Chain A
Amino acid sequence: MLKNRMKQYTPVAILAAAILLIQLITLISGTGYLLTQLTMSAWYVLAAVGLCMVMGYAGQISMGQAGFFAIGGYTTAVLSTIDFTDRLSGGLPRLLDSMHMLITRETIYGDTMTYLTPWASLIAAILIAAAAALIVGIPVLKLKGHYLAMATMGFGIIINRVVLGTKAFGEADGITNVPPFKVLPFFEVSGDFNIRIGNYYFAWLIVIIAMVLLINLINSRSGRALKALHGSEEAADAMGVNTARTKVIIFMIGAVFAAAAGFFMTHYNGGIGPSESSVVKSVRYVSIVAVGGMANIWGTLMMGMVLNFLSLRGVFGHFDDAVFGIILVLIMMFMPDGFIRKAVFYDIRNFVNRKIIKRGDK
């Protein structure tokens, strides 16, 4: 029992080792600038594994993941760019100040700025995303197949249009000059080159924590309920699984992951734009989950890391979005179980066992 428990964390250890190794390689080869894209990939991976739970494990297609990402990003972008400097005498700012929720900082122009601590906007981002997922999820998750896909895509488009059409969200320009997020007295999430390595480790640490949480969820009673739900909703229902509730909860978890990713990405980049909420972005998350093998959080993580890194480095050039379209089509035609399947690992292990270990016996 204990051995099994430990075994499920082996991939976590491998991931941690890989993260360390990648940093060492960039250090030795003098390519530290790559860590910026690797950090950003980590935030996108966080949103993708959230979707993986919804799509792969619960079997509910969601084409609105970018909408939740944008909810997280825009919430903090709006809240932490309100300048309280001239309004400190007001009732609300004084209340916030007495709760130590205001931070004063010098801007790049030399002015002082007093703003709400991003810790508050992190909580707000998560709560708003969870509430949105609850309100949208309860009615929409009753739908299946095409209807569910269209409805979630519709949700994504609504977020995109609201962001594009509202002055408070910066319309087509988005919101810039978002202050850094001071996590610890000596560490902040920001695009500052001097703390690039720290940010890289912080981002992947959050991903690792998220993976540990998901592993526990998958291997729990609720996780088995999810699998039953994916197999056959009617059968799961008959076995006493509260399917409606399970679906909404997993949808909310996926939304919160995306919102957290959007939150960190916005502080890391110092801003957010409306393109983060576009349909194409949502499709990207879907294609990463599909190529990762649908019900496979590790496959999603791996493909999310590789594809986002390549895309952010500009390897795909003009065909950036097209690559994700091609991936979707090819995967569905030739490898509907995904590119990273468990079977691949078994095949490799069997191969190694047969060819190499047996030869050693002779």
Chain B
Amino acid sequence: MTFDQVLQYIFSGITVGSIYAFVAIGYNIIYNTTGIINFAQGEFVMLGGMIAYTFSGFMALLPSVIIAVLLTAAVGGVIENVFIRRMRRTSVLGMIVITVGLSILIREFSLYIWDEQIRALPFFTGSEISSVEIIGARISPQVLWVLAVTAVLTVALYIFLKFTLTGQAMRACSENPKAALLCGIRTDRMISLSFMVSAGIGALGGCVVSPLTQTHYAMGSDLAVKGFTVAILGGLGNPLSAVAAGLLLGLIESFSISVLPMAYKDVISILILLIILVAKPSGLFGSRAAAALKDY
């Protein structure tokens, strides 16, 4: 492997890793406020790409991405209000079953609207053939877009959770919902908000990577498992370390293609999931003691 190839693999790994990070951040935000793992998280990414594709047919790219993010956030809000809110008292098993059911519904609904074709948004700048040279490797400008959006999102999320009142209220809900309620935080609103934010983030990710990885109605369940792998790798409940874990998994996958057949790349990441779940469920960066206190 030459140095150029290594760089090429690194960039493609970071691109795929970013999309996993987007899904994992979504998982974490919802998990933090509700303790639910939303199996429909991958579907938000698909919805984002698909909605933006439809709107980009008759308007500029930026507004169509914004519309896609807002609409998907609305879908997230509807899901929370119509389904999750009624289910507060259900068992974990019930929660899993209902979010799985919702993911199938969203997916089949999308199949009905957008059929089986693979779609792709146009490149944000340039086209498929334009490339930028960075230290000898030639990469698509879209990769830079992906990296920039991931970086901006990470910083924005950090600022939101750390310094804004709403962000602090959201973190309070994850620490202790009852205490948060006693402090006058409307926890049910925070839960709605967390579904909307994580749906929106998923949609944004879906838009940014769509030119590179394409959008297909059935892409959700794969993303759900891989995003979950990343969320666990980074330690569940920690949205920011999910970014690091996402990039790590992306790199592993990308380099595995150089050794193994392409079709097996999913097998690698799922094996990583199984190993980490069994060996260190608190994640690479999490503490075992803190994880033991959590209820899955």
Contact = CB atoms under 8 A, between A and B. Distances in A.
A329 B228 contact: no
A319 B108 contact: yes
Nearest to B275: A139
A327 interface: yes
Contact of A279 (B105, B221, B262): B221
B97 A290 contact: yes
Contacts, number: 130
A164 B277 CA distance: 25
B257 interface: no
A290 B296 CA distance: 21
A286 B108 CA distance: 17
Interface stretch (B147-155, B157-165, B263-271): B263-271
A318 interface: yes
Given A290-B97, A333-B98, A143 B261 contact: no
B274 A155 contact: yes
Contacts of A59: 93
Task: Give the secondary structure class of B's interface.
Answer: helix
A325 interface: yes
A157 B270 CA distance: 8
Task: Give the secondary structure class of A's interface.
Answer: helix
A231 to B, nearest CB: 12
A324 B103 CA distance: 11
A351 interface: no
A161 B296 contact: no
Nearest to A286: B97
A319 B110 CA distance: 11
Interface centre among B111, B261, B296 (most CB of A within 10 A): B296
Contacts of B108: 319, 321-322, 325
B264 A165 contact: yes
Interface residues of A, number: 46
B273 A322 contact: no
A139 B105 contact: no
B250 interface: no
Contact of B273 (A154, A164, A283): A154
Given A145-B93, A283-B104, A328-B100, A164 B267 contact: no
A157 B266 contact: yes
Chain B interface: which size bin? 35 or more
B37 interface: yes
Contacts of A166: 263
Interface in B248-294: 261-264, 266-267, 270-271, 273-274, 277-278, 281
A150 B37 contact: yes
A15 interface: no
Contacts of B101: 283, 287, 324-329, 332
A161 B266 contact: yes
A326 B105 contact: yes
A193 B69 CA distance: 54
B74 to A, nearest CB: 19
A63 interface: yes
Given A286-B97, A287-B97, A333-B86, 13 more contacts: A144-B92, A145-B92, A154-B225, A158-B270, A280-B104, A286-B100, A318-B111, A319-B112, A322-B105, A326-B101, A328-B97, A332-B97, A333-B83
Interface of B: 37, 39, 83, 86-87, 90, 92-94, 96-98, 100-105, 107-109, 111-112, 221-222, 225, 228, 232, 261-264, 266-267, 270-271, 273-274, 277-278, 281, 296
22 contacts: A55-B93, A61-B96, A145-B92, A146-B92, A150-B225, A151-B277, A153-B221, A154-B270, A154-B273, A154-B274, A158-B267, A162-B264, A162-B267, A165-B262, A165-B263, A290-B97, A319-B112, A324-B101, A324-B104, A329-B101, A329-B102, A333-B87
